[in-house]
Amino acid sequence: MKQPEYQRRPDAEPKVTGSLKYLTDRFEDHMLIGKVMRSKHPHARIKNIDTSAAEAIPGVYAVLTHKDVPGLNRFGIVMPDQPVFCEDRVRYTGDAVAAAAAESAEAAEKALAAVVVEYEPLPVLDSVEKALSPGAEQLHEMGNILHEAFYTRGDLQQGFADCTCIVEETYQLPRQMHGYMETEGGVVVPGQDGGISVYMATQHGFKDRFQLSRILDTPEEKIRIISSPIGGSFGGKDELNLQPYGALLALKTGRPVQVHNTRKESVRAGLKRHPMAITMRTGADESGRVLAHETTIYADTGAYATLGPAILEFAVEHASGLYPIPNIKTTGVSVFTNNGVAGEFRGFGGNQVTFALEGQMDRLAEKLGMEGGQLRFINMRKPSDAGPLGQEIAPTDGGKMVLDDVAAWQQLPLSNTGEPPWLKNGRGGAVSMHGGGLGYGRLDPSGGRLALTKEGKLEAAFGFEECGQGIVAVIETVMKEAFSCNDEDIEITIGDTSKVPVSGSTTASRGTGMIWTAVENMKALFSRQLLTEASRVTGTAAADLYLGAGGIHKSGTESSLFLSYKALAEYVQAGDIETHTSFDFPVTPDEIDSGHYLYSFGGVSAEVEVNLLTGAVRVLDLKQSVSAGPVVYPQGYRGQIEGGGIMALGYTLMEDAVMEEGRYQTENFDTYLMPGVKDLPDNVTVKPREEVMEGDTYGPRGVGEIGTIAVAPAIAEAIYQAIGARPKKLPVSREWILHQIQQRGLLPWNKPEKMLGG
């Protein structure tokens, strides 16, 4: 697609001048401040809760506990198992026990400090091993296993028997934090009719409305969710967070209530990426054909379900990635613990298994005496091959395309010159395949609405959220292309359940594709509506009219405006020119639960510099090749891959929300380290591979996640190329690097025999 070099996002000026009001910036008259009290213990019984002293504190308007929840005292997207307020048991330190609304934050905090909770501590199950050990306390009625997922095909035993080369490894993946700069929060405003308006970020307004309706025992029609703009989400704000507390406090006090997590509160209660331990055994014959692949995944899902089951299924699906291996057995277990709740996070379980899978490919290649790229070419899927679960998918050659790029990049010379001798460079590459949409068997509806407003704007309405990714720029770009209009002709309506149609969630890399599809579906009818009305108004045959900048233009005349949209709007009633579409995300025809149909592909090449004296790893060069269909908005596409790449660099080298005995040891950005500008590689390249197969009508695939998937294995391989040791645990620590350097005697004055205790 041709694009002007610079195309401004519709939200550009408000964002760079600070004039944009985020939902946590809102201020209402008579607004109270709400605060939530979280559990003191990772695991305990609650024997008693006494709020009387708290209620007596001046300036305090309400103190709430589980007794004050009118409806279901639970939430959770897949199954509602997380208490809004705990009744008799707490399962992690983010569990809410009480909440208060007061004239000031200080008064609300004072009130919560005066709530007396009697706890009886229980044994803390702070690891998967403890939670699964015989006799362990059962965290839920269903036990300590949230979900198990399996996939098998072929004959694994025979497959391994036919292999001449087998590698086995266990990979450890950390608890990554989303680290969105705007913490959770906003304002809830009670209405006259017992309803509420909830001004808080989410990735799916209608789903929040549904969950809140259940909690508040209030019809959905009485709940309005205003959920954009969002100061970053990355999956982390898809589940409910502070909405129930703001809503309950507002309804109780009859006043607007602002709730806004401090960073520490956000870390304590918020979701993280699932820590996983993944064991893979992978075998190939002497020609390098991978014949057998066995995977076992243990995921620490924390205290409650949220999207844990779906993430596990995604990980199981992607365990064999882009390689159609004939004999596969994959087992996934998602385990409840007393750790922080793990849930949705950009990549959705794909990051973890791809690190393991690509690690296996490099280990196998080495053992076979071939290049990693060569082994991948031998095993790469063909365009018409089935998906990883054997399901029919949209034909694609994306895997091969990105691998071509990675293989070419691997040939580039290293950027160091051998001086100084304590800096060692290495380059590595990896590829990935990532399903878009929610998968087979899940409700995944989408849709949109186009209308001519009474002010003469072409309104594009979608139930999507703007969390930074640039969905507003995507809408604008697609509209301009469909109707040859100007920016000023377009009015974008998103992020408000009282105004938008059902479009499904702003997750799973689905927004861009769904907007493109919706406008494709509507553009002929909407154009015809506009032209027919313009013809009626002007008496000119519709065939002589066409749509252009500012409104209706007439053929055969100088290209100037014939009838502006504003003028046209004066002749028509609201709703006269309006069209809708609703459809489902494309899904595989095969009845295979959670199987995807549209996939994107990412190839990564990374060059690192390892400092043998300090163990520090610096990424010098990060190149990504992406196959996700045509690019809609180039600046946004590039930004998603660049930003996703650096987020994944953090995942690989520095990020881990460490927990000990069920308590976060990293409570803020001083100890939880995310990449800063100094961690940015000298060179970052994004190469879109836009080609799709002939006859492919699915348009753009969305790139919100793909830039985060294959970065870790590429960096890990680069580290191996530099120092000869293969990382299997993320983040790769300096201590581990130094230990490997010592063991290998890479420093002339520090030979292994000189080491004490080796």
Partner 1 sequence: MEQTRKDARGIEHRQGVNVCTFYLNGMQASVNASPLARVVDMLRDQLHETGTKISCGIGRCGACSIWVNGQLTSSCLLLAYQVEGKEVTTIEGIGTEERCSIVQEAFINEGGFQCGYCTPGMIMATEALLKQTPDPSDEEIRDGLSGNICRCTGYSGIIRAVKAAAARLA
Strand partners, 328: 153, 293
Which of residues 414, 604, 646, 706 is near partner 1 by CB under 8 A?
Answer: 646
Encode 553-586: b = buried (16+ Cβ within 10 Å), e = exposed: bbeeeeeeebbebbbbbeebeeeebbbbbeeebb
The residue from 126, 182, 459, 607 that contacts partner 1 (CB under 8 A) is 182
Q: Which of 620, 616, 602 is nearest to 737 (CA)?
A: 616
User: At closest approach, how far in Å is the CB of 257 from partner 1?
Assistant: 15
Instruction: Report in angstroms how near the CB of residue 268 gets to partner 1 at its nearest.
Output: 14
Residues 20-79 that bind partner 1 (CB under 8 A): 20-22, 25, 27
Are the CB atoms for 734 and 742 separated by under 8 Å?
Answer: no
Is residue 680 a contact residue for partner 1 (CB under 8 A)? Answer: yes
* Backbone φ, ψ for residue 457 (5° rounding): -105, 150
Binding-residue total with partner 1 (CB under 8 A): 56
**Residue 212, number of CB atoms within 10 A of its CB:** 25
Contacts of 420 (CB under 8 A, 6+ apart): none
CB of 188 to partner 1, least distance (A): 18
Per-residue H/E/C for 441-461: CCCCEEEEEEEECCCCCEEEE
Interface of this chain with partner 1, residues 525 to 544, rule: CB under 8 A: none
Per CB under 8 A, 658 contacts partner 1: no
Contact between 15 and partner 1 by CB under 8 A: the answer reads: yes
Q: Does residue 244 contact residue 75 with C-beta atoms inside 8 Å?
A: yes
Angle between helices 398-410 and 372-379 (to 10 degrees): 160
If the CB atoms of residues 313 and 466 are measured against partner 1, the closer one turns out to be 466
669 is a site residue for partner 1 (CB under 8 A): yes
| Residue 655 sits in the site that holds partner 1 (CB under 8 A) | no
Please count the residues of the chain: 758
**Which listed residue (639, 688, 700, 731) binds partner 1 by CB under 8 A?**
639
The answer to whether residue 346 forms part of the interface with partner 1 (CB under 8 A) is no
**Of the listed pieces 13-21, 325-333, 491-499, 603-611, which binds partner 1 according to CB under 8 A?**
13-21
Q: What share of the chain is helix, strand, coil (3-state, %, to 5)?
A: 30, 25, 45
Query: Which of 642, 690, 691, 696 lies at the binding interface for partner 1 (CB under 8 A)?
Result: 642
159: its two tokens = 């497959």
Binding segment for partner 1 (CB under 8 A), chosen from 45-53, 440-448, 597-605, 677-685, is 677-685
Burial letters 482-514, b for 16+ CB under 10 A, else e: bbebeeebbbbbbbbbeebbebbbbbbbbbbbb
Closest CA to 95 of 48, 37, 39, 34: 39
C-alpha dihedral sign at 325, 352, 431, 587:
positive
Min dist. Cβ of residue 474 to partner 1 (A): 13
CA separation, residue 18 to residues 11, 13, 25, 262, 611 (Å): 11, 8, 11, 20, 40
Q: Which of 80, 190, 321, 675 binds partner 1 (CB under 8 A)?
A: 675
- The single residue among 183, 301, 360, 507 that binds partner 1, judged by CB under 8 A, is 183
Residues 181, 412, 574, 755: which binds partner 1 (CB under 8 A)? 181
Q: Supply the minimum distance, in Å, between the C-beta of residue 267 and partner 1.
A: 10
**467-506 binders of partner 1 (CB under 8 A):** 467-470
635 sits near partner 1 (criterion: CB under 8 A): yes
Report the nearest approach of partner 1 to the CB of residue 677 (Å).
Answer: 5
Name the residues that contact partner 1, by CB under 8 A: 6, 8-9, 11-22, 25, 27, 178-183, 229-232, 234, 262-264, 467-470, 635-636, 638-639, 642-647, 668-670, 674-678, 680, 682, 684
